[in-house]
Structure 1
Amino acid sequence: MVNADFTVDDYAAYITVQRAEKLNAIDTSTKTEIIDRLRQYKDDEAVRVVVFQSDGDRAFCAGGDVREIPETDYSLKHFTDSWDELFATMRNLGLPTVAKVDGVALGGGFDWLLHTDFVVAASDAEVGQPEIDLGIVNHFSPPVLLDQVGVRKTMELLLTGETISGAEAAEIGLVTRSVPREELDEAVDSLVSTLVNKNPRVVEKIKDGIYTSLEMSPSAAKSHLEDVSLESARTDPDYREGVDAQLAGRDPEWTVK
């Protein structure tokens, strides 16, 4: 059984985890289906952004389904492999991803946020990584956390297992922005509207360039991005169309990827 719903509306794909009674903990079959859908969206001209959200207002995702742990003879690899596949698929998607966080985001749900391009959280949401209390040495969070919030906050979040609010998460750069709960839907809709109207081909190249740069020295990243930029200007129609549209005082007419 897959505990998620998948819809596409106005160039936005919405993936909604539907397991509110379990704080939207995600089981392996649902995770696998999400991965498969993301791969379909990658080549779908009707999709320009992907939104992750969940039923109810208590939880975005409380992590993986711990009931599966004994069923797999406590194999941690069973879970890490599927999370790895999900995060790699998201990174290589070529589309911006958005997470709408209206409640708790813990464990795998917290890692999910870290690997999403944009995170909009309710100011009273709770996010954190309590896996230390399950005896798990988390390997997804540290590299991303260190880059986003530094050593001190990474130590605090991972070694205490305590949660922080959506408002604090925004203050330290852990999420893109936080808003009062009653403004969350509007904030996400506004962001999605902005993203779907950007040039899909340029969005893909910028996203790929940003993530590729994280693994390079600053000088190597600059050279890499310069090569991508110049090649794009030479071979793609986007640069010419963007400039011509601005000079003519009209909206650009972007071609699909």
Structure 2
Amino acid sequence: MDFQYLQLEQDAQVATVWLNRAELHNAFNTQVIAELHTCFTALNDRDDIRVVIIAGRGKSFSAGADLNWMKAQSEASSTDNEADALKLAKMLQALATLKQPTIARVHGIAFGGGMGLASACDICVASTDAKFATSEVRLGLAPSTISPYVIRAIGARQASRYFLTAERISAEQAQNIGLVHEVASIDTLDQKVQEIVDALLLGGPEAQASSKQLIQMVNQQSLTEELLIQTAQHIAHVRQGTEAKAGLNAFLNKQSPSWIKSTTE
């Protein structure tokens, strides 16, 4: 498979999907989302692949949405906006429902959609310098399409704090709230990932696929078409609002949004 913004590597039974838009901290746009969806769909049909690792080139795992792309989408029609959001929702669903065990190898920042990508993986291993955030509200947005995966990872109670404050979450904090399974120095990150890969390869692939389905069933949070549409409609509505447009413009122009009051007022 040939991609513009991804690199797919295979080492025996392990596939690594590298986000390769390093100059923009692997931010999502329409093309990145489409390539990820295509890649995950193809990997799901590969019986020779036992484990899938998601990683980022450069200084970051992923900064989430490319804000210039988000700004353009805020000007689109409601129909186009919802269709675009649904593509992101379906990409995350394709990752979350892969038959193979998935590992997020996180270093640097994993904000917004980047945190969603890590949450949609079965296992998350982070470097000590990793930072997570659901940063959307500071832009006048909401973490809609990533919400099923983040809430599943950290629970509704923790989501209440971090969805509303958009605070940055250290790797240690992320481990404490259930998002991250293992924390390692950047020098030993790949070693820690390999340890988990080795453990996964000892399991039966059909049993692992069945176990993934079991977890979703018992967790009572099936990723239904209705849920995907609801989250897409939610973000489509929010990002067309005046607050979202003002927040995105403020960020891109390096200004404070209108809801942050000056201390001199």
The superposition leaves residues 120-173 of structure 1 with CA deviations (integer Å, 9 ceiling, x where unpaired) of 001221001110012112223444444443444222211111111111111221
Q: AA paired with 1:38?
A: F
Q: Quick check: which has more Rg, 1 or 2?
A: 1
1:155 and 2:155 aligned = no
Q: Answer yes or no: is the 8 Å Cα contact 1:124–1:167 preserved in 2.
A: no
Change in 2 beyond 3 A, CA 1:70/1:145: closer
CA distance in 1: counterparts of 2:159 and 2:175, whole angstroms: 15
TM-score w.r.t. length of structure 2: 0.75
The superposition leaves residues 18-41 of structure 1 with CA deviations (integer Å, 9 ceiling, x where unpaired) of 111111112221221221121111
Moved more, 140-149 or 35-44: 140-149
Is the partner of 2:143 in helix, strand or coil? coil
Change in 2 beyond 3 A, CA 1:33/1:135: same
Q: Answer yes or no: is the 8 Å Cα contact 1:99–1:116 preserved in 2.
A: yes
- Structure 2 match to 1:165: 170
1:198 and 2:200 aligned = no
CA distance in 2: counterparts of 1:73 and 1:153, whole angstroms: 29
Question: What stretches of structure 2 of length at least 5 have no aligned partner?
Answer: 222-265
- Structure 1 match to 2:115: 110
CA distance in 2: counterparts of 1:34 and 1:150, whole angstroms: 26
Q: 1:186 aligns with which of 184, 188, 191?
A: 191
Q: AA paired with 1:5?
A: Q
The superposition leaves residues 184-229 of structure 1 with CA deviations (integer Å, 9 ceiling, x where unpaired) of 111112212222332111110001111121117xxxxxxxxxxxxx
Q: Answer yes or no: is the 8 Å Cα contact 2:7–2:19 preserved in 1.
A: yes
Change in 2 beyond 3 A, CA 1:143/1:46: closer
CA distance in 1: counterparts of 2:67 and 2:104, whole angstroms: 22
- Structure 1 match to 2:249: none
Q: Answer yes or no: is the 8 Å Cα contact 2:115–2:150 preserved in 1.
A: no
Number of equivalenced pairs: 215
Is the partner of 1:182 in helix, strand or coil? coil
CA distance in 2: counterparts of 1:175 and 1:115, whole angstroms: 12
Q: AA paired with 2:123?
A: F
1:71 and 2:72 aligned = yes
Q: CA deviation at 1:85?
A: 0.7
Question: What stretches of structure 1 of length at least 5 have no aligned partner?
Answer: 217-257
1:3-14 paired onto structure 2 within 5 Å: 3-14=5-16
The superposition leaves residues 89-145 of structure 1 with CA deviations (integer Å, 9 ceiling, x where unpaired) of 123221111110011000111111111111000122100111001211222344444
CA distance in 1: counterparts of 2:46 and 2:199, whole angstroms: 19
Change in 2 beyond 3 A, CA 1:79/1:123: farther
Is the partner of 1:59 in helix, strand or coil? coil
1:127 and 2:144 aligned = no
Change in 2 beyond 3 A, CA 1:3/1:146: closer
What is the RMSD of the two structures over their aligned residues, measured on CA atoms? 1.9
4+ long deviations beyond 3 Å: 70-76, 140-152
- Structure 2 match to 1:50: 52
Q: AA paired with 1:77?
A: E
Q: AA paired with 2:70?
A: I
Q: CA deviation at 1:10?
A: 1.3
